[in-house]
């Protein structure tokens, strides 16, 4: 067994999760693949959303996978970085909007 938590080579084995729970694994991958097909959103747009989310949830496998996916789709590095900023803005906004709660509590407790 590897002595570190994340090994890039493990991404190639993602499909193996189905071996220990075939029904759930199969259903998951069917759902996953369906999500990223062309739809009301283009597959290209969904790839950029996935890249942004990958950064927010800090999944190294997903970052590797969707950087490569973006390259394959001809997505530019400027587009990729803007997507990461969109994710980061929401994440920092989510922190900062709690500042309102802090202000409310502060005001309530203060004379």
Partner 1 sequence: MATKSLKARQSDLASTQNQLDYLEGGLFASGELPRFKDKLADAGLTALKPKALEILQINLGYMCNQVCAHCHVDAGPDRKEIMTRDTMEQCLKVIRTTGAHTLDLTGGAPEMNPDFRWFVTEAAKAGIQDFIVRSNLTIIRANKKYHDLPQFFAEHNIHVVSSMPHYTRGKTDRQRGDGVFDKSIQALKDLNAVGYGMPDSSLRLDLVYNPSGAFLPGDQASLELDFKQALREDFGIEFHNLFAITNLPISRFLEYLIASENYEDYMTALVEAYNPEAVKNVMCTNTLSVSWDGWLYDCDFNQMLDLKVDTPLRHITDYNEQVLQDRNIIISQHCYGCTAGSGSSCQGTVA
Closest CA to 68 of 26, 85, 60, 6: 60
The answer to whether residue 98 forms part of the interface with partner 1 (CB under 8 A) is no
Question: Burial, 83: exposed, middle or buried (Cβ in 10 Å; 0-12, 13-18, 19+)?
Answer: buried
How many chain residues are in contact with partner 1, going by CB under 8 A?
A: 11
From candidates 27, 73, 85, 105, binder to partner 1 by CB under 8 A: 73
| Contact in structure between 36 and 46 (CB atoms under 8 Å) | yes
Tell me if 81 contacts partner 1 by CB under 8 A: no
State in angstroms the smallest separation of the CB of 108 from partner 1. Answer: 54
Q: Are 56 and 91 in contact (CB under 8 A)?
A: yes
Binding of partner 1 by 68 (CB under 8 A): yes
Residues 38-67 touching partner 1, rule: CB under 8 A, are: 43-44
72 binds partner 1 (CB under 8 A): yes
Question: Any contact of residue 26 with partner 1 (CB under 8 A)?
Answer: no
Residues whose CB falls within 8 Å of the CB of residue 58, separated by 6 or more in sequence, listed in order:
none
């Amino acid at each position: 067994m590897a002595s570190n938590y994340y090994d890039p080579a493990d991404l190639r084995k993602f499909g193996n999760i189905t071996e220990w729970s075939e029904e759930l694994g199969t259903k998951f991958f069917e759902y996953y693949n369906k999500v990223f097909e062309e739809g009301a959103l283009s597959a290209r747009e969904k790839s950029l959303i996935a890249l942004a989310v990958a950064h927010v949830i800090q999944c190294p496998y997903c970052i590797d996978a969707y950087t490569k996916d973006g390259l394959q789709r001809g997505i530019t590095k400027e587009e990729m970085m803007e997507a990461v900023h969109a994710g980061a803005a929401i994440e920092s906004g989510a922190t900062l909007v709690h500042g309102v709660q802090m202000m409310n509590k502060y005001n309530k407790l203060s004379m």
